[in-house]
Structure formats: C-alpha cells, structure tokens
Amino acid sequence: MQILTHSAQFFDTLYVHASKMIKKLLKTLIQPKVSTYLDAKIWIQKILLEEKYRKINF
C-alpha cells in the first residue's frame, strides 16, 4: 500500500509541474514580445527623425 501512496504523490507532483510548464509555454506563445515592441518603436522613431531632419546631399 505504501508504494501506491508514493506513486500517487509522484503523479500529483508530476501533474502540477506539467500544468505549470504548459501554462508558461502558452503565455510565452500568446503574449507579444517586449523586445519586438521596443525594436519597432526604435525604427518608427528613426524614420520620423529622418523625415524631420533630412540630410541635404549636394
């Protein structure tokens, strides 16, 4: 009977860890990346500054 008790605890722990891992995986897949947002923001600022302060080539 003691073997069944230990295996039940093992599978409960395994289930908890697996569910945490799946939740974390889903969050990373669904939520937008912060670095992508910052990268896009920098490019937009660069384009706007280039439009505002164009270099005059002679």
**9-24: pLDDT as tens digits:** 888 889 999 999 999 9
Phi then psi for residue 31, to 5 deg, are: -75, 140
Say what percent of the chain tops pLDDT 90.
Answer: 17
* Better pLDDT: 50 or 56: 50
Q: What is the DSSP letter of 53?
A: S
Instruction: Check residue 18 and give its pLDDT.
Output: 93
Q: What is the DSSP letter of 26?
A: H
pTM of the entire structure?
0.45
* Better pLDDT: 8 or 15: 15
